Structure 1
Amino acid sequence: MMLRYGPDHKTEMFFSLLRWIFLAIAAIIFYIPSFRHMLSLELRAFSYLFWMGLIYMSITQVCLRWYKQKGRIFTTITYAGVLFDFVAAIWLMILTGGVTSFFFPVAYLIVMHATIYWGKRGSFISVTGIICGYVFIYFYLEQYQYDDKTFFLCLNLSFLVLLGLLGSMLVARERQHHSEKMWFQEAALHDYLSGLPNHRAFQEELQDSIYAKKPFLLIMCDLDHFKAINDQYGHVVGDDVIKHVAVVLKDCAHLAKGQAFRYGGEEFSLLMPLKCKDRLRELLKEAGSRLQNITILDHTFSVTMSFGVAIGTVNQTAQEIVKEADDLLYEAKEAGRNCMVIQNQKNYEVVGF
């Protein structure tokens, strides 16, 4: 079966806790003589289930603690939990009254568990499986006869079907709302044209870099004579230039384990670790070489960029760091463009490409 949503760590922790609670309740009922004799319970058959559950749940707990959420072992163990819950629930119902078992509400949790992971398909399969198990108990183990147990059978199965329908509807709505929320969050933090994180995302990442209390590089980047490209070739070509530059800068930032943003218009920004400062000229020069002789809509031309590089420290605010990098970018423009101006103690250094 193709898994639809995938296991969630918090959800599985919750269901794991419920398993331990039900195991403790069942152990009290079966292993305390007064309860066992009052309910006429068979201890030997329960012992097999108890030790099977204890082993499985201990393994699950280890997986939840040590294995990665998206790992194969974690996924296998957590999905096997739905099957284990089904077997354990049917087993307990057989041992504690069959159709009238007080453990029947566990079936509702199984339906919820399967529905969370597989949506409507999980709801249908889990409800069908429990109905089949329940009917099997009624017809083959209790010898069918029309009495009060028939009423319990119909009542429990009716509630089970209703829960399955309601659960699938709620999960479907929750997944739709979650998808819409993620889409809006993505749209709010990304620039549609370039595909890069936008100005808002840049400000948030800049604040995170400051809170990390580690020095970093802020690079403000601006396309040289971009207005002339728009005027000569049109805005369609200009938009494609923006896209091309975004790809180049994203690759450049990735090599330095940093991140590229579209700051606005033809201006971009890069946040990089301070340790890449020594090879920054090489990285930016490589980026500049990829902007030479680009072809867009049968037009071939070269694009150059200017860069202002500031070193962000823990004693500065976001506004101060951005202003410093912006001032250095202005110096690069004044120095003839197609160059990098980098902060160097109290002075700055102009590095041409």
Structure 2
Amino acid sequence: MKALLDRAYQSHHALEVIFSSLRWFFLVLSIVVFSIQYVAQPDFQKLMLFVLLVIFGFIYMGFSDYYLHKSPEGSKMYTTMTKGGPVFDFIAFSALIPLTGGLASPLFPLAYLIILHVAVYWRFLGGMIAAGLFTLVYSIIFFMQREEATSLHPFIDYFSAVLFLLLIGGLCGIIVSRERKHHSENSMLVEAANRDYLTNLLNHRSFQECLRKDLDNGVDFYLTLTDIDKFKSINDKYGHVMGDRVLRQIGDILSSFVPEKHGKVFRYGGEEFALILYYERQSEVTEVLEEIKQAVASHLFQCKEETFSVTMSFGMAKQNGENPGQLVEKVDMLLYEAKDSGRDRIVCAG
């Protein structure tokens, strides 16, 4: 449960799973409440309407759960079913309350939960609009039930309930907006802490965390260490500003050949880069590295009126149950072997 709540703080999907579970809980609760009331005061017309409402609920919630768990997050159908949830909730609530006692219905507090759900997506404006719609429903039921009311007391109850609905809508919107802003700012800080300021690649800290996590989880991957051949001579000849430009462009080239689903690219330090690649066969990894090597070698760098190119050397091995330090050391030795055997080449573990 704690893990689900932690994910809900960071993910709309986890939050929707919670709201979906609550819908099923309150559907069962509604059946229990209606059954108790029906036994005490049978009304066949209400029974038929309630059965239709329950069937409608089962159909919608079944479809919603299916797309919630089977559709890719962010797809059109996923978005329609999840963001349409509060609309379904409002319709079901508007039909359910008159069938379970009207103003005296024990299910009326569901309105506050639905307002919160709306505020999650549409923040303050959504919370206030939802509160306004529930106020309309409450007002219709109130004036239908209180036609003959002559005392002031029912109207005090009415205005108190309306005020509370509006306060809940406003406060939910404000709180959700503040939390979203805080989460966004926190995410930006975390992202900045995990990025190399020069190349915008993931940094050495991110590399160590990702490496440890993948090894702990038993993920199959290939680790590659690569660096720019004779980079010091570039700094000496063209200056450090040009050297920084070379690093940025090399980072762009590496990223262009490593899609997110197949791996990650890191600036390991200085002119050295690390790649964690998720491929099944070593031949696939070798092919990608060969394409990168050729792309780097053919890329021309411009410094004033002079152009030049660079090469890179690569060491690569598949993880075989080593700890992070052992794996990095093994691949680093392969990189040095590539350097010692002439540079501009790829050396793989036997």
Alignment TM-score > 0.5, same fold: yes
Report Cα offsets for 1:221-277 as digits up to 9, x if no partner. Answer: 121232232233232222111111111222334499333211011111223343425
Cα drift, residue 74 of structure 1: 2.4
Residue 41 and residue 24 in structure 1: after superposition, are their counterparts in 2 closer, same or farther (change >3 A)? farther
SS class of match (1:300):
strand
Select which of 5, 30, 41 maps to 2:34. Answer: 30
Which residues of 2 match residues 51-200 of structure 1 at below 5 A? Answer: 51-140=55-144, 142-143=146-147, 145-147=149-151, 148-200=153-205
Report Cα offsets for 1:70-118 as digits up to 9, x if no partner. Answer: 2222221222221121122222333344334333211111111100111
The TM-score with structure 1 as length reference comes to 0.83
2:196–2:202 CA contact under 8 A, matched in 1: yes
Cα drift, residue 280 of structure 1: 5.8
Residue 213 and residue 123 in structure 1: after superposition, are their counterparts in 2 closer, same or farther (change >3 A)? closer
Residue 119 and residue 248 in structure 1: after superposition, are their counterparts in 2 closer, same or farther (change >3 A)? same
Q: In structure 2, what is the Cα distance between the partners aligned to 1:58 and 1:311?
A: 44
Is structure 2 residue 13 aligned with structure 1 residue 9?
A: yes
Runs of at least 5 residues in structure 1 that lack an aligned partner in the other structure: 1-5, 345-353
Select which of 305, 309, 312 maps to 2:319. Answer: 312
Q: Which residue of 2 aligns with 1:18?
A: 22
Residue 75 and residue 27 in structure 1: after superposition, are their counterparts in 2 closer, same or farther (change >3 A)? same
Runs of at least 5 residues in structure 2 that lack an aligned partner in the other structure: 1-9
Q: Which residue of 2 aligns with 1:3?
A: none
Q: In structure 2, what is the Cα distance between the partners aligned to 1:256 and 1:15?
A: 30
Q: In structure 2, what is the Cα distance between the partners aligned to 1:325 and 1:83?
A: 55
SS class of match (1:193):
coil
2:314–2:347 CA contact under 8 A, matched in 1: yes
The TM-score with structure 2 as length reference comes to 0.84
Q: In structure 1, what is the Cα distance between the partners aligned to 2:325 and 2:107?
A: 62
Q: In structure 2, what is the Cα distance between the partners aligned to 1:256 and 1:22?
A: 39
One-letter identity of the residue aligned with 2:265: A
Q: In structure 1, what is the Cα distance between the partners aligned to 2:237 and 2:264?
A: 31
Q: Which residue of 1 aligns with 2:295?
A: 287
Q: In structure 1, what is the Cα distance between the partners aligned to 2:302 and 2:139?
A: 71
Q: Give the stretch that moved more between structures: 316-325 or 169-178.
A: 316-325
Q: Which residue of 2 aligns with 1:230?
A: 235
One-letter identity of the residue aligned with 1:178: H
One-letter identity of the residue aligned with 2:60: Y
Q: Give the stretch that moved more between structures: 194-203 or 271-280.
A: 271-280
Q: In structure 1, what is the Cα distance between the partners aligned to 2:107 and 2:225?
A: 64
Report Cα offsets for 1:39-58 as digits up to 9, x if no partner. Answer: 99943433332332232223
Q: In structure 1, what is the Cα distance between the partners aligned to 2:58 and 2:261?
A: 49
Cα drift, residue 328 of structure 1: 2.8
What fraction of aligned residue pairs are identical, expressed as a percent? 37
